[in-house]
Amino acid sequence: MVERARTGGLEGGTRAEAGPAEQVEAEGSGPGRAQAEGSGSGRVEVGQAEVGPVRWAVELADPRGLRYLRLGGGRWTGPPRADGPATGLAYATFAARAVAFVIDLAVVAVVFQLSAAILEAVQIGVGPSEDGLTRLVLLQDAVIIVLVVGGFAWAWSVLGCSPGQLVAGLRTLRRSDGQRLPPLAAVGRAVLLLAPWLVLSMGPAVLQLLAGATLGASGPSPNTLWLLLAGVVVIWYVVLAWSSLEDARGQAWHDKVAGSVVVAAGA
């Protein structure tokens, strides 16, 4: 920190002075040194010491944040982006994220229950064969998976939060700039976070139909297949939880793939 920094050699003979609480920072291999721009004119005097030639200097700590003065052109530019949430935001706690996730799973479960009620009404009215009904359930579940993944991706990319995150006061943002997730990243996040639960929610009968098409009659029973898949899903979510707890930003694996962070909206 220095009391005052003076710059010379700006275009048009411009002279820039910086107030208290200032420090000089230059790009390059060490403090106070950088590659010269243009002819190399422009040197910075800091007290009795002369530092230069420099490309960037005079880092001001003003209420609006750090700003940089470009010596070659005498214009101000914004500071480099900090590697963290925007000012006034804090990374979400694991407990808050867990609450939001449970609420999201409850929303998905309600969607499946409503679809099951609709399917039961169709069965009573039409009365298809058992094989035809199973295939109808498979088709319906596939449509639900697409709709749920698409719905959550839309919520993250447009609203910035899922239903559970809205209740818990959380937001999902892009880590690089704090903006909402782009659609493709939101879809990838939804697939990694929700697809295992969605497949498990299809039920033993539909899973048996899928296994029968690939394993034949020698495949496991519906209940055995469902229990095996349930074990894999539980392990997957334990891994996601562990990766979130171990990360300084609380990023789980699906967050890292999507380039997202979850922050407390009211922080």
Q: Give the pLDDT confidence score for residue 229 in this predicted structure.
A: 82
Q: Give the pLDDT confidence score for residue 140 in this predicted structure.
A: 79
Q: Give the pLDDT confidence score for residue 19 in this predicted structure.
A: 42
Whether 126 shows a pLDDT value over 50: the answer reads yes
Q: Give the pLDDT confidence score for residue 109 in this predicted structure.
A: 86
Return the SS3 of 7: strand
> What does the mean pLDDT of the chain come to?
70
The residue that leads in pLDDT, 6 or 114, is: 114
The residue type at 235:
I
Average pLDDT score over residue span 2-13 = 38
Least confident of 1-10, 197-206, 214-223: 1-10
Hunting for tokens 């208290």 — which residue is that?
Answer: 20
Q: How far apart are CA 143 and CA 126, in angstroms?
A: 20
Whether 189 shows a pLDDT value over 90: the answer reads yes
Q: Give the pLDDT confidence score for residue 266 in this predicted structure.
A: 65
Q: For the whole model, what pTM was predicted?
A: 0.61
CA neighbours closer than 13 Å in the CB half-sphere of residue 247: 22
Q: How far apart are CA 178 and CA 261, in angstroms?
A: 8
Q: pLDDT digits over 40-58, tens only? A: 444 433 333 344 444 444 4
Q: pLDDT digits over 47-92, tens only? A: 333 444 444 444 444 444 444 444 444 444 444 444 555 555 789 9
Overall size of the chain counted in residues: 267
The interaxial angle of helices 204-215 and 222-246, nearest 10 deg, is 100
